[in-house]
Amino acid sequence: MNKAKLITGIIAAAAVGAAIGVAYAPDKGSRTRGKVKRQMDDLSENVKGLAEAAKSKTVDTATDLYDQGKKTVNKAVDKIAGNINSVTA
């Protein structure tokens, strides 16, 4: 959850920064808009990178949990099968 708050904070800070930049810009409007667009493009790329990293970590964690669960189930099945064999033998 902390990463979600961090990303939200970054996006909010960038939006506020862009708004302040536009409001107090000494440049022509077209030049200012170009600067804001470049900043927003950079921010977009950063957010995409963060999202991709979060996705990768989530997939890795889910895969690890799946593998651990599979091992646990297999051990339980083997133990039950062993108990059944000892009772029927």
Q: What is the mean pLDDT of each run of 10 residues along the chain (89 residues)?
A: 75 78 74 83 86 91 96 93 81
pTM: 0.55
What is the domain range of residue 68?
2-88
Confidence (pLDDT) at 4: 73
pLDDT at position 66: 96
The total of other beta-carbon atoms located within 10 Å of residue 66's CB is: 10
Residue 59 confidence (pLDDT): 94
Give SS3 for 68.
helix
Domain count, the chain: 1
